[in-house]
Chain A
Amino acid sequence: MSLVPTSIRDRGSYLLFLIPGGLLLLAVILVPLGMNIGISFTEWSGAGEPEWIGLDNYTRLMGDGTFWASFRHNVGLVVAMAVLPTLAGLVIAAALFDFIGKHFGSKHASVLRAAVYLPQVLPIAVAGIVWSWILAPQDGALNEVLRAVGLDSLAQNWLGDPDLALWSVMGVMLWIQVGYPVVIFMAGMQRVDPSLHEAAELDGASWWGRFFHVTVPQIRPEIFVVLLTCTIAALKVFAPIYVLTRGGPGGSTNVPSYYSFQNFFEKTQVGYGAAIATVLTVLILVLTTVFLRVQNRGER
């Protein structure tokens, strides 16, 4: 007979299962994250000894116009990847679920949903290649279409004009992103009690009336999840910028993630790159905390 109560022994042996995952997490995530924060207090070219400079990188960030501009561009991407897809996704999901699904059968609705969702499964780098070619100034498909219908004056250097490039990137991101909220919202609408819609209909509510007063309030949890996960995704955007514009022309589409990449590997200002990455991390962690808080409150 062992003197240790079984419950304690049980807990001990369950802990063994956490060892491989815990060690991997330590080596691949926690230690590198700590190192990155450490590096951000140094001046380092990546070779030789890093030189401790305290908060200098962060004070330099405060006065760095490129850094602030990169965050402004990120706000544009949050609009294109979180706000607009959520708004469009609500209308599209409601039209497919509540209208097409009911009047023409759910088969039609799911085929249309698949078409809208398809860009989501593409590797973002591949989506970027598709679009950089469609948006090419000389023989790109978009300009060809405009010329073919006689709108020559609207043909533009979509990705090469500093005033237009960010808008073009935003359009591409909207195309990539919109399928995600549509799928999530349609799943959420299946949860809504049909009697709520019936009651509203008896009260004489129009389709839009039911949309605003029944559908939207009922799928609030989904809307919230989509807004937050998409906002975080927008803050992390790298591949589309790398493939479409490389942050150009003239830095007009630079974003924090690409800016830190440039400092790490092109300008070899590793300490400064680490500081940018740390600021981005803090921002995302704050958003994640808000997300967890509100989600917990919703569950209670």
Chain B
Amino acid sequence: MRRHAVLWSMIVLALVMLVPFFIVALNAVKTPDEYSTGGPLDLPSGISLDGIIAFWERVDFGEKLLNSVVISGSVAVLAVVVSVFNAYALGIGRVKGRLWILVVFLIANTLPQEALVYPLYFLANEVGLYDTKLAVIIIFTVIQAAFGTYLLTSTLGGFPRELLEAARIDGANKWQTLVRIVVPISRPTLGVLFVFFFIWTWNEFFLPLVLLISNENQTVPVALGVLQGQRMMDATMTSASALLGVIPAIVFFLIFQRALTRGITAGAVK
């Protein structure tokens, strides 16, 4: 009896968490007429893709998706590379003053972006990178790599010394040891970092909002957020836009679920 009470209360909780997703999907496939007569809760008589198509064309959603993929993908790759270099020097090389260097990286990761935004905006203008994807890629490579360095240094700190010694005896230099021994063995952790960097960068809003003002450079969250702020969409188009914003996140969630749960656990306890 009590067992089922707990089970049912958890099921109710899960449904409450999921209801917003259902309502969005339900209304994204309605026609504006159906919405104005039946309101947000009536079932649609059929699946109408008009709202989705209208929204897609209006914001050129394909372009926004591509921008987000290019920015998040580049950041994920570059930030993993930079994290590996940093962590190789700090965790395996144990360079002098590594504790303080590590603290600087950790601080870089926890800083509020508000404290960087105006100088970054100013500097990007000075060097001609304002309103370019490259500026956003460089900035987030550094921000994500700051976290990656912190996490990976503690992982590589426990790297088996025998392997490094064996490589040295075989005549491998530091670069060869990194590429042939350290990277292949750390691949699972690097994979988790890649997934994290990709999703985190995908979800970023504040700095891309400030740095990417022209339409053709905007990412998915920025384009949706700006349009929402203008309050010029009707209800079905708003839910269509929300659905299009939700779908990539759910796709990533399903693809990366295992890596994700493993990753947040790794980040939490160390």
Contacts and interface: CB of A to CB of B under 8 A. Distances in A.
Interface of A: 10-11, 13-18, 20-21, 24-25, 27-33, 35-36, 39, 46, 92, 95-96, 99-100, 103-104, 108, 111-112, 114-116, 118-119, 121-126, 128-134, 136, 139-141, 144-145, 148, 175, 178-180, 183-184, 187-188, 221-222, 225-226, 232, 235-236, 238-239, 242-243, 246, 256-257, 260-261, 264-265, 270, 273-274, 276-278, 280-281, 284-285, 288, 292
Q: Name, among A39, A124, A141, A285, the residue most crowded by chain B CB atoms within 10 Å (CB to CB).
A: A141
Interface residues of B, number: 96
Contact of B205 (A35, A180, A239, A276): A239
Contacts of A32: 115-116, 119-120, 123
Interface stretch (B46-54, B183-191, B233-241): B233-241
A188 to B, nearest CB: 7
Contacts of A123: 202-203, 205, 220-221, 245, 249
B184 to A, nearest CB: 17
Given A33-B115, A123-B203, A273-B118, 12 more contacts: A15-B95, A30-B104, A32-B119, A32-B123, A36-B116, A115-B18, A118-B250, A121-B253, A125-B224, A126-B246, A134-B20, A280-B115
A113 B21 CA distance: 16
Interface in B63-108: 82-83, 85-86, 88-90, 92-96, 101, 103-108
Contact of A103 (B3, B114, B139): B3
Nearest to B120: A32
A148 B14 contact: no
A206 to B, nearest CB: 11
A28 B245 CA distance: 29
B3 A25 contact: no
A296 B69 CA distance: 38
Closest 9 CB pairs of A and B: A14-B93, A126-B245, A32-B119, A115-B14, A35-B119, A125-B221, A239-B205, A187-B265, A28-B142
Interface string B218-261: 00111011001100000100110110011001101100010011
B163 interface: no
Contact of B116 (A29, A95, A96, A178): A29
Contacts of A96: 10
B111 interface: yes
A113 to B, nearest CB: 8
B253 A36 contact: no
Nearest to B173: A13
A251 B258 CA distance: 42
B142 A285 contact: no
Contacts of A92: 10, 13
6 contacts: A17-B86, A17-B88, A25-B142, A129-B225, A130-B246, A277-B117
